[in-house]
């Protein structure tokens, strides 16, 4: 890690573990906000309006937590990197298809993407158990919000 002008409350080892978890979360959330906006612009078909609005809610959630994650990184002396190049190179989100997508295919893609991100977040929750409980608490809060969204998206697939 680069020397920081911000004195960290964490040991160097804990700062590295926590900083890596925060950076990975930041990238995943930036990508989620972009994917959800792409889906928002391109969803078509029956129930278009509901899916369109629900995608904007997902964008809002992702953007809220992006800022909180970046500010937590700064608070522990880690410079966050949400640049497009960084997001492209390190996001763990499954790809979202180009062009118009039916509501059904959009819902299926968002369910898959949220499932992947939740799995990644839960691993980071475990990783930060010893390095920084404050960051772990933030990751738990993000996971709670994404799991709620995941449930709501899955409910649209139920018969």
pLDDT of the residue at 110? 98
Question: Residues 70-100: pLDDT tens digits?
Answer: 999 999 999 999 999 999 999 999 999 999 9
Contact (Cβ atoms closer than 8 angstroms) between residue 146 and residue 58 = no
Question: Residues 10-43: pLDDT tens digits?
Answer: 999 999 999 999 999 999 999 999 999 999 999 9
Give burial (CB, 10 Å; 0-12/13-18/19+) of 89.
exposed
Confidence of residue 3 (pLDDT cuts 50, 70, 90): confident
Orientation angle between helical segments 12-42 and 48-75, nearest 10 degrees: 160
Percentage of the chain beyond pLDDT 90 is 93
Rounded-to-10 torsion of CA 14, 16, 21, 24: 170
pLDDT exceeds 90 at position 1: no
pLDDT of the residue at 158? 87
Model confidence, pTM: 0.95
Give the list of residues 6+ apart from residue 25 with CB closer than 8 angstroms, or none: 65, 69, 121, 124, 139, 142
Helix (H) or strand (E) holding 43: strand 43-44
**44 in helix, strand or coil?**
strand
Strand partners, 44: 102
Sign of the alpha-carbon torsion through 118, 122, 124, 128? positive
DSSP, res 10: S
Strand partners, 101: 43
pLDDT of the residue at 2? 59
Contact (Cβ atoms closer than 8 angstroms) between residue 70 and residue 80 = yes
């Amino acid at each position: 890690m680069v020397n920081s002008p911000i004195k960290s409350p964490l040991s160097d080892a804990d700062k590295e573990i926590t900083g890596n978890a925060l950076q990975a979360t930041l990238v995943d959330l930036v990508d989620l906000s972009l994917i959800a906006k792409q889906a928002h612009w391109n969803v078509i078909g029956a129930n278009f309006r509901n899916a369109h609005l629900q995608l904007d809610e997902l964008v809002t959630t992702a953007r809220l937590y992006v800022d909180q994650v970046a500010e937590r990184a700064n608070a522990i002396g880690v410079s966050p990197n949400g640049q497009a190049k960084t997001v492209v190179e390190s996001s763990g989100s499954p790809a979202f298809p180009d062009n118009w997508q039916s509501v059904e295919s959009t819902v299926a893609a968002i369910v898959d993407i949220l499932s992947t991100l939740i799995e990644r977040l839960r691993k980071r929750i475990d990783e930060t158990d010893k390095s920084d409980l404050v960051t772990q608490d933030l990751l738990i809060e993000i996971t709670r919000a994404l799991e709620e969204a995941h449930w709501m998206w899955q409910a649209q697939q139920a018969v």
